[in-house]
């Protein structure tokens, strides 16, 4: 009797668990209803090929959108990266002399386009967590032809770790994203800069998605419309940000915007959401280089943004900040995304499959199994953090490579987050940047 009762209880528990997981899996596969109003149409094979053929004959032209060349000098912190590199390239494209541009980065230039076109720009290796290193980079003498020109600083460097949400790991991003920003901003002031623009993140506004309620037809908060509204409210508790990365960017953003004054004008650009634009980017380029991609979110609709549109927004922000008197956009963040409607992840996969010259294949495992795996990986990493002897005695290590990103926070930023850049598109007179992007997402990809 006892054994029969135990087996009955276990059987009931298994049935409940299976039904629970089935319901959660079904909800995770659903298209978030609210997102369809922003993008009801999916890209067809004909539209993808037609866009490709059109751009093959008439490539994208960002030059006409660039603000006029200014008689200024520039320090681009993080200029070896994707956004920073495109800022350098667009500065050169609009006629700035290479002598007026200094790239400050810990990593060397590796992008072929940067090596080809930005080779004459000054490059200084620096660690932005070291005040002495940054001060040395900023105080290096300039060529006489530009030494007396006003100075603009673009701060684009960041530690991007979107998978970690526990406070125990916050230090990993804080040192670079918060302390590093403060150090760079102090060096910019000391060097006489009067304009300071930092790259932030639209993910600051994203709140965690809840997946585990089996009675829901779609996960709670799987559809979110994000703006800059959170900037005008107190910061949320730690667990109301999707990851430590977002918290660190929110703190840094408030440092930058809070430093704004007439002789040191500041602001931030929030890219929304995933940034693409180079074969090494973490959005499109990485998938193309891998060839084999696993996805549990083909149905989700989300904004993507070209690095060139982000760069363009930085330059349009700078142009606005040079106005007299100080414009209303000073001391504020602005969300930037590609013009046109957002696309779904399935649109992105179809585009890559149709146009990639190399192998590209997407597998679609059950999303609930991927979520369970993500929680297991996070638990393992937290166990190592709280029990360090497991590393020192037994040699256990945290996962490395792509698998380390496979943690629950990633499921939130892959949900249907719709970025609205209406504030940036407003004219400078109306408090915006007058932002106009140079490509839609299908065009840019």
Residues 74-106: tens digit of each pLDDT: 999 999 999 999 999 999 999 999 999 999 999
Q: Is the pLDDT of residue 37 over 80?
A: yes
Q: Give the angle subtended at the CA of 233 by the CAs of 227 and 235, to the nearest 5°.
A: 95
**C-alpha distances in angstroms, 231 versus 9, 51, 189, 200?**
51, 37, 24, 12
The arithmetic mean of pLDDT across residues 255-271, rounded, is 99
With the C-alpha atoms ordered 170, 79, 335, 344, is the resulting torsion angle positive or negative? negative
Q: How confident is the model at residue 190 (pLDDT cuts 50, 70, 90)?
A: very high
What pLDDT was estimated at residue 402? 84
Least confident of 178-182, 290-294, 433-437: 290-294
Least confident of 312-321, 361-370, 392-401: 392-401
Question: Coil, helix or strand for 125?
Answer: strand
What pLDDT was estimated at residue 265? 99
Query: CB count, 10 Å around CB of 425?
Result: 17
The arithmetic mean of pLDDT across residues 287-306, rounded, is 93
**C-alpha distances in angstroms, 370 versus 1, 170, 320?**
39, 24, 45
Q: Is 0.85 surpassed by the pTM of this model?
A: yes
Average model confidence (pLDDT) across the chain: 96
Rounded to whole angstroms, the Cα distance separating 119 from 117 reads 6
The closest of 249, 246, 266 to 257, measured between CA atoms, is 266
The arithmetic mean of pLDDT across residues 194-207, rounded, is 98
Quickly tell me which residue has 């650009």 as its tokens.
269
Rounded to whole angstroms, the Cα distance separating 149 from 151 reads 6
What pLDDT was estimated at residue 1? 66
The arithmetic mean of pLDDT across residues 11-35, rounded, is 93
Query: CB count, 10 Å around CB of 380?
Result: 15
Mark residue 331 as left, alpha or beta (left: phi above 0; alpha: psi -120 to 50; beta: remaining).
Answer: left
DSSP code, position 282: T
Least confident of 57-61, 169-173, 199-203, 427-431: 57-61
**C-alpha distances in angstroms, 119 versus 65, 99, 154, 399?**
24, 11, 19, 37
Radius of gyration of the chain (CA): 23
% pLDDT > 70, the chain: 100
């Amino acid at each position: 009797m006892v054994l029969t009762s135990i087996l009955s209880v276990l059987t009931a528990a298994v049935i409940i668990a299976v039904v629970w997981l089935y319901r959660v899996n079904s909800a995770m596969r659903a298209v978030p209803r609210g997102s369809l109003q922003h993008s009801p149409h999916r890209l067809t094979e004909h539209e993808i090929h037609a866009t490709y053929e059109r751009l093959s004959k008439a490539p994208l032209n960002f030059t006409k959108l660039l603000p006029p060349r200014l008689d200024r000098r520039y320090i681009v912190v993080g200029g070896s990266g994707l956004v920073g590199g495109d800022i350098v390239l667009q500065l050169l494209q609009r006629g700035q002399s290479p002598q007026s541009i200094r790239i400050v980065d810990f990593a060397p230039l590796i992008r072929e386009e940067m090596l080809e076109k930005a080779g004459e720009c000054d490059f200084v290796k620096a660690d932005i967590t070291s005040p002495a290193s940054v001060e040395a980079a900023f105080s290096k003498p300039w060529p006489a032809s530009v030494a007396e020109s006003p100075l603009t600083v673009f701060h684009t460097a960041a530690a991007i770790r979107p998978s970690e949400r526990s406070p125990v790991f916050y230090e990993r991003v804080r040192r670079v994203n918060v302390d590093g920003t403060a150090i760079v901003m102090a060096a910019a002031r000391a060097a006489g800069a009067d304009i300071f623009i930092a790259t932030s993140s639209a993910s600051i506004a994203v709140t965690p998605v809840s997946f585990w309620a089996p009675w829901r037809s779609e996960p709670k908060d799987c559809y979110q419309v994000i703006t800059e509204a959170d900037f005008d409210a107190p910061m949320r508790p730690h667990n109301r940000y999707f990851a430590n990365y977002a918290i660190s960017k929110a703190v840094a953003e408030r440092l930058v915007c809070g430093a704004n004054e007439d002789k040191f004008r500041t602001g931030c650009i929030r890219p929304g959401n995933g940034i693409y634009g180079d074969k090494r980017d973490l959005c499109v380029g990485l998938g193309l280089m891998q060839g084999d991609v696993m996805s549990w979110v083909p149905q989700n609709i989300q904004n993507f943004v070209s690095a060139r549109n982000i760069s363009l927004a930085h330059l349009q922000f700078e142009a606005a900040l040079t106005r007299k008197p100080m414009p209303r956009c000073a001391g504020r963040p602005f969300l930037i995304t590609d013009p046109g409607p957002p696309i779904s992840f399935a649109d992105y996969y179809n585009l890559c499959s149709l146009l990639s010259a190399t192998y590209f294949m997407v597998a679609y495992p059950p999303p609930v199994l991927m979520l369970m795996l993500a929680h297991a990986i996070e638990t393992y990493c937290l166990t190592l953090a709280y029990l360090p002897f497991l590393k020192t005695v037994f040699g256990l290590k945290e996962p490395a490579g792509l698998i380390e990103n496979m943690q629950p926070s990633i499921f939130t930023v892959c949900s249907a987050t719709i970025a609205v850049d209406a504030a940036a598109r407003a004219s400078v007179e109306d408090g915006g940047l007058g932002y106009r992007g140079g490509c839609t997402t299908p065009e840019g990809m």
